[in-house]
Each structure stands twice: as structure tokens, then as C-alpha cells.
Amino acid sequence: MADERNFRSSYYEKVGCRGVEEKKSLEILLKEKPWDKMKLKQFCLRFTVPAAYRNLVWKVLLDILPVYPDSHQFVMEQRTDQYRDLLYAVEMLELVDLKERRSKILLQMWLLDNEEREPPVFKETNFSSEDTFVPIAETLLELYDDEVDVYWFAKSLTDAVCAMQKDLSKLNEAFQSMLEKEDGELYNHLVELNALEKLPLVKWYNCCFAGILDDTSLAKIWDKLCSGAPKILSFVAVMLVITLRRNILKATSVEEILKCVSEIPEQYEEVIAIKAIELWQYYGSQPQSDPLAKK
């Protein structure tokens, strides 16, 4: 039955039916005043957000914009002014060379906004926030043309990753449990080589797979993140490993396995994202406490 359902969903997507229905459902939600944030989250948890609406929906889910559409223009003007003030300040204070990569400039703006001189380190994992912010910003720069939007999204997602640190052990546990259930042979192979604990899970989670998967694939995953479901990241990790299982099973050392998972063929990236979402939904995707919404 699950295979039949997946085939049917895939067929509907190919002929464009499913996308049309989802777009209509979202448009109905966006006609409400004020918008119902919980309904928007539920939509994003169930479906992929149509690209034409993703920017706007993410802004509301991440509290960059309020649920009152009549206020959107005014609030976005304020966000734009804040962005310009920060950009002007980092230039005047010579905190960054404006010839640097845009992601690095945005990082300095974020640090100034947070009154930090250096990128703080997440104390739970000893992971630099720079290695979260920069890859996320670079992915967003591929997704969106407006750098103001990129800054606010990168800020919101990085702040969320910081809040997520206390739950990383749960993501690791979910990863191991799900991998053992889905592919016992692969799981046992990783255990036998003492490679399970060596996988770069913390890096994957802390950059939300930015720089690991392509921007188009990540947008589908981040729909779920913006809806308050960080557990999707453990499912992405599971499907990444399973998708590369043939090469991993051939590996005879930890080093070979790490090399394998660091070299993901381009044609697999979309597959990993789609199958991760299918697996996550199959096991009952549930909205969690919303660490991605601004406190």
C-alpha cells in the first residue's frame, strides 16, 4: 500500500495535479486575516511549499513578518532599514572588507547585531556558529536574489540551530534507531568498523545540510525546519547514508566511509531529500516545540 501511495503521489506530481491542488490550498490559507500560523505550519509539514510562496511563508513562520498581511510592507521596510544600518556599520568600523564573499559580510553583520566580536562557539558541541551561518547564507544566496531576505533568514536559522543544540543527542539517537530499522546490514557494517560515532552528524545538523546538499533539495527540507520540525535532519542523515550504501558496504575503514559520505554524487542529492521527507512522513511527522521561531 505504501508503494502504491508513493507511486500515485509521484505520478500526480509529474503531471502537475498535486502541485496545483497544494497551491490552491495554500492560497486559501493566505486569504485569511490574520493568517493562522498553525495551519501554515501544518501545510508545510504535509507538503512542499510552492516556490512562488516560499519566501513569504518562511518569513511568517520564522517571525520575520507578522501574521497580519496588512503590516507586511511596513515591517519589511523596518527590516530593510536594520539591514542597511548593519551593513553601513560594518563598513564604517572596518569589520570586514566589502570585497569579501557576501556570506562573510552577512556574518559580520550578524555578529555586530548580536554584539559579538568573534563567532560564538556552541558550548554543547564546541562547534563554531560561523560554520553554521556561512554555509546557510551561501545556500540562501542561491535561493533568493534579495540580500535583505537572505540576512534575516540566515539569522533566524542560525539562532534556531543554537537553540537546537540541547536536542542534538536526541537527533543522534533517532538517526541510529532509524538506520538500524531501515537497513540492518548497513547499520551493522558501520558498527563493526566503529564508524557510527565517527560520522559527521553534528556538522550535518549544525549547518542543516547546507553545503552538503544542493539548494533546491535543501529548500524542501527547510520547509519542515521552518515549521518547527528539526527531527527531519536525522531522517536526511539516514537517507544520505542509505543512498550511499553500496559504496559504504565496500569500505573497510572509517577513513573510507568518511570519504564516501563527503562525496555525494550530484544526481543523488534530490533523491536523498525526497526520500528523507517520505520516510519522515511515513513514521508520523509531528510538529515539535518550535525552536525555529524567534523567541
Question: Per residue in 125-150, pLDDT tens?
Answer: 999 999 999 999 999 999 999 999 99
Residue 295 lies in a domain: no
Strand, coil or helix: what is 29? helix
57 in a structural domain: yes
Listing DSSP states for 118-144 in one string gives: SPPEETTTTEETHHHHHHHHHHHHHH-
Q: What b/e sequence results for 259-294 when a residue is b if at least 16 CB atoms lie within 10 Å of its CB, and e otherwise?
A: ebbeebeeebbeebbbbbbbbbeeeebeeeebbbbe
Report if residue 292 sits inside a domain: no
pLDDT digits (tens, 9 = 90+) for 161-212: 999 999 999 999 999 999 999 999 999 999 999 999 999 999 999 999 999 9
Domain annotation covers residue 142? yes
Q: What is the mean pLDDT of residues 106-123?
A: 95
Domain interval for residue 254: 2-282
Q: 201 is written with which cell numbers?
A: 552528524
CATH number at residue 120: 1.10.472.80
**Would residue 24 count as lying in a domain?**
yes
Angle between helices 168-182 and 232-243 (to 10 degrees): 40
Check if the beta carbon of residue 270 is closer than 8 Å to that of residue 207.
no
Q: Which residues contact 291 (CB under 8 A, 6 or more apart)?
A: 160, 163, 164, 167, 228, 230
Number of Cβ within a 10 Å radius of residue 96: 19
Mean pLDDT of 74-95: 97
Contacts of 57 (CB under 8 A, 6+ apart): 26, 40, 44, 49, 226
Which of 18-32, 63-77, 233-247, 256-270 is least confident?
A: 18-32
Closest listed residue to residue 56, CA positions, set 223, 273, 290, 216? 223
Q: State how many domains the chain has.
A: 1
Q: Is residue 291 part of a domain?
A: no
Distance CA 120, CA 152 (A): 18
Size of the chain, expressed as the number of residues it contains = 295
Residue 42 within a domain: yes
On whether residue 82 sits in a domain, the answer given is: yes
Three cell numbers, residue 195 = 564508524
